[in-house]
A and B are shown apart, each in its own frame.
Chain A
Amino acid sequence: MAELLNITGLKAGIEDKEILHGIDLSVGEGEVHVLMGPNGAGKSTLGSVIIGAPGYEITGGSIIYDGEDITGEATDKIAKKGVFLSFQNPIEIPGITLSNFIKTSMEEITGQRIKLWDFKKKLEAVMETLHMDKSYADRDLNVGFSGGEKKKAEILQLLMLRPKLAILDETDSGLDVDAVHIVSEGVREYKKQVGGALIIITHSTRILEALDVDKTHILADGRIVAEGDATLIDKVNSDGFEQFLG
């Protein structure tokens, strides 16, 4: 498949502290990649740096997305090119409804006005597949949402915004079995409807139950220490990360 994301020799960190010590990672269009690793390995940092999070300094290497160098580009520009990051801790914003937020975001990304009626119909349909109560659409963004509802709201955005590359940062963490199942179904819907590529950062395998994984990367101490296909996940599950650490 054609290459969508190509990261080479990426070094990045906060202030004087380097966190990523030269990452090489390549994702083809529509591929499903899983990123695993012990706590503090730099998994979330990698996700954030790809989408240009402020506060991180890129000190080496490059990020090529869809044939364009997006290294150090502003977050909104990268988002508009079709990159999406599902946050580990979605932010609560009072005074903006979930529905208005998604509509604003869709209009920013597509550069087109969206008819309110069409939007509402679509939103309601997607909320139903995610077993979200319709009333959440008119609630302030993430304010007072449970952990599960926040993550569902992230997947709702994923399905509405239809990015070409979605990075899911521990979207399954802290969720009960049923919620993980729903989120997993949502991600499968995204694959089915949009056919986009995924980088899934996770500690568990339950979110992957409905997906075919193309490649697995093990990140430890800011370096990719092992790569393989889906069978690598089973190895991690049975023997932990210890086997990959020098």
Chain B
Amino acid sequence: MKEKTQVADIDRSLYDFRFEDADSYKVKEGLTEDIVNQISEEKGDPEWMREFRLRSLKIYNETPVPDWGPDLAGLDMDNIVTYVRPNTERMHTSWEDVPEDIKDTFDRLGIPQAERKSLAGVGAQYDSELVYHNVKDEVAEKGVIYTDIESALKGEYADMIRHHFMKAVPPTDHKFAALHGAVWSGGSFVYVPKGVKLDIPLQSYFRLNAKGAGQFEHTLIIVDEDAYLHFIEGCSAPKYNVANLHAGCVELYVGKNSTLRYSTIENWSKNMYNLNTKRALVEEGGKIEWVSGSFGSHISYLYPMSVLNGKGARTEFTGVTFAGEGQNLDTGTKVVHNAPETSSYINTRSISKSGGISTFRSSVVMNKDAHGSRSAVSCESLMVDNLSRSDTVPAMDIRCADVDVGHEAKIGRISDDTVFYLMSRGLSEADARALIVRGFADNVSKELPLEYAVEMNNLISLEMKGSIG
């Protein structure tokens, strides 16, 4: 098929186009019911899940791509099938095909050789099953369920999952939540029973190494009354994926008087569109603590949301976002205060460097029943050079008179005097700057378990390399 235009054809032999390829190429029609049915069948979904996927698909097809944030034009939405069903021929099947910068990062982060291949999405999976099973057995003694969500969907917790799955984040939320509902695959299910306080953190790191996971994975955590859980998601190594769309979903249910700490270090490869949705519903006296480090990706939309439904429910959000060259990271948090005496405390840092754009968005809603509630939002931005950009977009919607809402934003640069001071103590300029930035991000590193804090600091040092001149 050829299209005629008014403009005279130029001599295309100049470029090495191969017309026979063009002829054999057929444009896919986007995401169809057939494809979704096929996914559902492969996974052996219960019937309700198959219907749920199809309903989500319908919503997906009717919902426009968001246009209020960073540009998503680079996502090939007409050809969404390539993200959902990555063409095996295009997958990197050998270590040699993995881009040099990713390999280099593994090197510098000191990731063991055995893990590198699996993180890069090639070769054998890292044998983390043993570690995982040990953790699983240990927590099982306390009655904690920690398993992959697909098998849980068929086991004794099937009803519990059905009752909670995409109820906190409905597919109608936005286009990528709908996409997730239609094609989700992999992820974790955790249930902490009443009164159980788990002192070791559970880490999704092991499971995210599984083949095909980490793109549309679903995390569902239910913490019953008077319980405690710390869940850690991700790791500092850049996850490399040929399909450059990540639309995961995290749903957290925090029961009466319980606390859930949800820590994340995300470091996506620099071609990734990270459109992740995370939400926690918190009951009376409960607390959700988000600790979030956002690194990597080309574009991110990430705003973990806390819905405080019970009296005295609380949320704390501690985050850091690092946007380097070619990155546009739009991150922040949302809080909805639905009950009296609820509180939210938001403390974020954003760093932008080498032309990176970092936008902090916060949304605080005080509904009519939020009597005596408080919210404090603090956002500090650090621009490492003159090329970079940092924005703060705070939104407040207050429908209750007796509430206390505060917002504070600061923007700064690294002063020459500070760099000079550190250099006078023997640190190179690059090390001095990295040290300052690591110190700036210590709101998050202080909250992370030591090994994760060390990894995050290494990651910052790595991102800071070559930032001079």
Given A55-B416, A87-B421, residue A104 in contact with residue B427 (CB < 8 A): yes
- Report yes or no: A94 in contact with B425, Cβ–Cβ below 8 A: no
- Report yes or no: A76 in contact with B428, Cβ–Cβ below 8 A: yes
Residues of chain A within 8 A (CB-CB) of B314 are none
- Report yes or no: A95 in contact with B442, Cβ–Cβ below 8 A: yes
Contact of B424 among A75, A96, A101 (CB under 8 A): A75
- Report yes or no: B442 in contact with A90, Cβ–Cβ below 8 A: no
Q: Does B110 belong to the interface (CB within 8 Å)?
A: no
Q: Does B405 belong to the interface (CB within 8 Å)?
A: no
Bound CA–CA A8/B101 (angstroms): 49
Q: Which of B388-436 contact A (CB under 8 A)?
A: 415-429, 431-432, 435-436
Contact of A104 among B435, B436, B440 (CB under 8 A): B435
Q: Which of A144-166 contact B (CB under 8 A)?
A: 157, 161
Q: Does B353 belong to the interface (CB within 8 Å)?
A: no
Contact of A93 among B418, B423, B429 (CB under 8 A): B418
Residues of chain A within 8 A (CB-CB) of B428 are 76, 108
Bound CA–CA A55/B420 (angstroms): 10
- Report yes or no: B423 in contact with A95, Cβ–Cβ below 8 A: no
- Report yes or no: A157 in contact with B439, Cβ–Cβ below 8 A: no
Contact of A105 among B418, B427, B440 (CB under 8 A): B427
Residues of chain B within 8 A (CB-CB) of A74 are 423, 429
- Report yes or no: A96 in contact with B425, Cβ–Cβ below 8 A: no
Bound CA–CA A236/B418 (angstroms): 34
Residues of chain A within 8 A (CB-CB) of B429 are 74, 76
Of the four ranges (under 10, 10 to 19, 20 to 34, 35 or more), the interface on chain A belongs to 20 to 34
Contact of B425 among A55, A95, A157 (CB under 8 A): A157
Q: Does A79 belong to the interface (CB within 8 Å)?
A: yes
Bound CA–CA A109/B419 (angstroms): 16
**Chain A 59-97 interface 0/1 with B at a Cβ cutoff of 8 Å (1 = within):** 000000000000000111001100011010011011110
Q: Does B441 belong to the interface (CB within 8 Å)?
A: yes
Measured CB to CB, the nearest residue on chain A to B418 is A91
Q: Does A51 belong to the interface (CB within 8 Å)?
A: yes
Q: Does A53 belong to the interface (CB within 8 Å)?
A: yes
Q: Does B50 belong to the interface (CB within 8 Å)?
A: no
- Report yes or no: A85 in contact with B438, Cβ–Cβ below 8 A: no
Bound CA–CA A109/B439 (angstroms): 21
Q: Which of B165-211 contact A (CB under 8 A)?
A: none
Residues of chain B within 8 A (CB-CB) of A51 are 424
Bound CA–CA A244/B135 (angstroms): 79
Contact of B439 among A76, A95, A161 (CB under 8 A): A95
CB distance from A131 to the nearest CB of B (A): 23
Measured CB to CB, the nearest residue on chain A to B430 is A76
Bound CA–CA A140/B439 (angstroms): 9
Bound CA–CA A79/B424 (angstroms): 6
- Report yes or no: A80 in contact with B426, Cβ–Cβ below 8 A: yes
CB distance from B442 to the nearest CB of A (A): 4
- Report yes or no: B442 in contact with A85, Cβ–Cβ below 8 A: no
Bound CA–CA A94/B435 (angstroms): 10
Contact of A101 among B416, B423, B425, B440 (CB under 8 A): B425
Q: Does A54 belong to the interface (CB within 8 Å)?
A: yes
- Report yes or no: A108 in contact with B431, Cβ–Cβ below 8 A: yes
CB distance from B420 to the nearest CB of A (A): 6
- Report yes or no: B421 in contact with A108, Cβ–Cβ below 8 A: no
- Report yes or no: B440 in contact with A76, Cβ–Cβ below 8 A: no
Residues of chain B within 8 A (CB-CB) of A90 are 421
Residues of chain A within 8 A (CB-CB) of B435 are 93, 96, 104
Measured CB to CB, the nearest residue on chain A to B419 is A54
Residues of chain A within 8 A (CB-CB) of B417 are 91
Bound CA–CA A105/B432 (angstroms): 10
Bound CA–CA A221/B227 (angstroms): 71
- Report yes or no: B425 in contact with A79, Cβ–Cβ below 8 A: yes
CB distance from A193 to the nearest CB of B (A): 19
Residues of chain A within 8 A (CB-CB) of B422 are 93
Measured CB to CB, the nearest residue on chain B to A110 is B426
Q: Which of A80, A96, A161 has the most CB of B within 10 A?
A: A96
Measured CB to CB, the nearest residue on chain A to B431 is A108
CB distance from B301 to the nearest CB of A (A): 28
- Report yes or no: B440 in contact with A95, Cβ–Cβ below 8 A: yes
Bound CA–CA A79/B439 (angstroms): 22
CB distance from A181 to the nearest CB of B (A): 26
Q: Which of A99-141 contact B (CB under 8 A)?
A: 101, 104-105, 108-109, 140
Residues of chain A within 8 A (CB-CB) of B442 are 94-95
Bound CA–CA A80/B431 (angstroms): 14
CB distance from A241 to the nearest CB of B (A): 28
Selected A-B contacts with CB under 8 Å, 11 pairs? A53-B420, A76-B424, A76-B427, A84-B424, A87-B424, A93-B436, A95-B439, A95-B441, A108-B427, A109-B425, A161-B426
Sorted nearest first, the 8 A-B pairs with minimum C-beta distance are A95-B439, A95-B442, A108-B426, A75-B423, A105-B425, A109-B426, A91-B421, A79-B426
Additional pairs, 10, CB under 8 Å, beyond known A76-B424, A105-B425, A108-B425:
A55-B416, A74-B429, A79-B423, A79-B425, A91-B417, A91-B418, A93-B436, A95-B438, A96-B435, A96-B439
